[in-house]
Structure 1
Amino acid sequence: MRGLFVAISKSKRRAAYFWAILLAIPVLFFIWLMRPEEGFIRWLYPAFILMCAGWAWRLYRGVNLGAIERETIATVTLFFTIKLAYYLFWGNLEQNWVEIESTYWVMAFVMVLLYIVFDARKGLTYSLALAVVTLILGLLRLGGEVAQGQYRTEFLAFVRSEMRLFAMAGLLYALAIVKDQLALANRQVEEMHALARTDPLTGLPNRLALSELLEEASQHMHGLYLVLLDIDRFKQINDRFGHAAGDEVLREVARRLRVSMRKEDVLGRWGGEEFMILMRGESQQDVPAAVERLREDIAFWPFKLVGPVSASFGVAEGHIGDSIHALVERADRALYEAKRLGRNRVEMSPA
């Protein structure tokens, strides 16, 4: 599982990286113009600017985000580790300290990237490794001279910077663990929510889910059609072939309806051998024709083990001011009428 920023989508991360790099390029260019006398800035900043431009271009072109993230972290870490070593061991340490301090802030930024790209454990490992490298470089440069009474101010600043890095590594790890736990708890709640609203036999929305969908759809009754369908003589199927065969019929009916339905229609199991479909139609001819195709798809091909199976359909049109109860009741009456008239047919409820 991703660490601290698992919830950030790839598209958002890509956009954030792209604009951050575009902002960094003119800043780096300005530093290069203002301080051309320093060898590190003069020779290495142009190369780094070109790499930033390359990353921005690849982000814009949609190149694999993970590869760019890992490449960026490795390059930035190497570049600023070299910069830290250069300013620690080359030139006047007191004059160089501003650049050293700014390099530590970049290292802190790299740590944040580590927790974005890798999981919490790897983020902690790589962050601590980065902090240890900077610690070793600083001790190699300052340890002996501080013992001789030199550079005490710089050494205190170095210690503070190292403490920030180690503290940040630990804090980010703690936040990543908490974020992972919250994400896991949230996923479990979502799974429980989905299970409570899913029929285990057919995988369709169950009566609870359909009731919620009906409540939502009822806000726009105009053009809404409610379809109730009931498998004909289902009790006889169970009695003759067994409940396992009956369950298979229910699954196959659900499959055929899913395949034949329009994309915008919603199918669910209302209970027992009864299914419900929520449909939208521009005219009174659209929905009956679509429902008739569903009826034919069920009745046309025999079912394994049990042979021919048919279903009866009742359709009710929603009207402004309708209640959900009234709409369901009209569809149920239409379904009863389809059964009374011989089954395997579609009946529209009178307005």
Structure 2
Amino acid sequence: MDWASNRKRTVYFWGVVLAIPVLILIWIFRPEEGFIHWLYPLFILLCVSWAWRLFHKAKLESIEREVVATTAAFFTIKLGYYFFWGDLTKNWVEIESTYWVMAFLMILLYIIFDARRGLIYSLALFVMTLALGLFRLGSEIALGQHREEFLAFVRSEMRLFAMTGLLYTLAIIKDQLADAHRQVLQMHALARTDPLTGLPNRLALSEVLEEASQHMFGLYVVLLDIDHFKQINDRYGHDVGDQVLKEVGRRLRSSLRKGDMLGRWGGEEFMIVMRGESQHDVLAAVERLREDIAFWPFDQVGAVSASFGVAEGHIGDSIHNLLERADKALYQAKHLGRNRVELSPA
């Protein structure tokens, strides 16, 4: 579960928890009103259910939709009740407060849904409240009755309609900003990803090394080069050579320890950035990587091996020196017959 979902869940939970005592107090102190007396206990039980499910990590999307649908239905019924039951003038405080709940509900719609669906559902709320008000006040205003209430009704409807347009505009801007942010993240990832193997490329590895240089002790850089790769390309073609590169990357990635980083340094050369307290354990892990490449034959080309050069970082060391020692160790592994692991002297 991501950070945004956790934050939404927390906000929803405390919002529902704080609403429960408010609803209970209204129900206790205003039992004479039929709507409150009969329907508020049901709504309180629903709020308790939502709080319980939010606390126990139930699916957030289903709770959101249930809350919105139930709340919209509940307060639409409440609006209709106070429009048509009892004295309209005395009921207007409740009607006005219900309009504010509808405005809050519109905000919630745009939080939960995308801009298009938020607009559709907000307009549906607007149309329902408009229809209820016109049905109740339309004929009476023609007779000169409830003019103040009608003006208040018009103001409330205009406020809802304005909010619908404003929220839709803000939602469109939010969606555009989110799309732009995603594109930036994609471009950032593409700039740091090798397109053939899908591994981090030289730029990404360089950034990791730069960050790791703050703590050189226990840092290991491993350079590996596929043995006789030029002969593979010359004999089988570059397409087969590309498949070998991808398969080497796949085998290395599947065998890495947690916390190690693998990338393609360039050509047929890969790099692994590792950390370890024991030189013996690091060399054993690199040896397993070598075996994973050499043990199983590759499609079309048969046996493939790689040579590994390992350099250990020390306090006061530099990344340049570390890479230089790893490269010399790799050259030594090639010189001594290939398909082996060599550790650079300190």
Deviates most, 144-153 or 30-39: 144-153
Deviates most, 24-33 or 303-312: 303-312
Please list, as runs of the form range in 1=range in 2, the aligned pairs for 1:128-277 lying within 5 A after superposition.
128-277=123-272
Please list, as runs of the form range in 1=range in 2, the aligned pairs for 1:290-301 lying within 5 A after superposition.
290-301=285-296
Any stretches of 5+ residues in structure 2 without a counterpart?
Answer: none
Deviation at 1:207, TM superposition (A): 0.5
- The residue identity in structure 1 corresponding to 2:306 is A
Any stretches of 5+ residues in structure 1 without a counterpart?
Answer: 1-6
Deviation at 1:274, TM superposition (A): 0.5
Q: Answer yes or no: is 1:289 the counterpart of 2:291.
A: no
* Candidates 63, 79, 89, aligned match of 2:84: 89
* Residue equivalent to 1:3: none
Q: Classify the secondary structure of the residue corresponding to 1:173.
A: helix
* Residue equivalent to 1:328: 323
Please list the CA deviations of residues 14-62 of structure 1 after superposition, one character each: whole Å capped at 9, or x if unmatched. Answer: 2221111110000001111111121111111111111111121122223
- The residue identity in structure 2 corresponding to 1:16 is V
- Work out the number of aligned pairs and report it: 345
- The residue identity in structure 1 corresponding to 2:330 is L
* Residue equivalent to 2:110: 115
Deviates most, 81-90 or 272-281: 81-90
* Residue equivalent to 1:345: 340
Name the CA distance, whole Å, in 2 between partners of 1:303 and 1:82: 70
- The residue identity in structure 1 corresponding to 2:50 is W
Q: Answer yes or no: is 1:318 the counterpart of 2:313.
A: yes
Please list the CA deviations of residues 150-203 of structure 1 after superposition, one character each: whole Å capped at 9, or x if unmatched. Answer: 222222211111111111111111111111111111111111111111111111
Please list the CA deviations of residues 246-272 of structure 1 after superposition, one character each: whole Å capped at 9, or x if unmatched. Answer: 111111111111111112110000001
Name the CA distance, whole Å, in 2 between partners of 1:329 and 1:60: 55
Name the CA distance, whole Å, in 1 between partners of 2:294 and 2:71: 66
Tell me: CA distance 1:8–1:116, structure 2 relative to 1, closer, same or farther (3 Å): farther
- The residue identity in structure 1 corresponding to 2:155 is R
Deviates most, 317-326 or 140-149: 140-149
Please list, as runs of the form range in 1=range in 2, the aligned pairs for 1:16-95 lying within 5 A after superposition.
16-95=11-90
Q: Classify the secondary structure of the residue corresponding to 2:339.
A: coil
Name the CA distance, whole Å, in 2 between partners of 1:246 and 1:141: 79
Name the CA distance, whole Å, in 1 between partners of 2:55 and 2:278: 46
- The residue identity in structure 2 corresponding to 1:345 is R
Name the CA distance, whole Å, in 2 between partners of 1:299 and 1:67: 51
* Residue equivalent to 1:4: none
Deviation at 1:8, TM superposition (A): 7.8
Deviation at 1:284, TM superposition (A): 1.5
Structure 1 ranges of 4+ moved more than 6 A: none
Please list the CA deviations of residues 120-172 of structure 1 after superposition, one character each: whole Å capped at 9, or x if unmatched. Answer: 11111111111111111111222222233322222221111111111111111
- The residue identity in structure 1 corresponding to 2:235 is R
* Candidates 6, 16, 20, aligned match of 1:11: 6
Name the CA distance, whole Å, in 1 between partners of 2:146 and 2:315: 82
Q: In percent, how many aligned pairs have the same letter?
A: 75
Deviates most, 272-281 or 67-76: 67-76
- Provide the alpha-carbon RMSD of the alignment: 1.4
Q: Give the TM-score normalised by the residue count of structure 1.
A: 0.95
Name the CA distance, whole Å, in 1 between partners of 2:98 and 2:313: 67
Q: Classify the secondary structure of the residue corresponding to 1:219.
A: coil
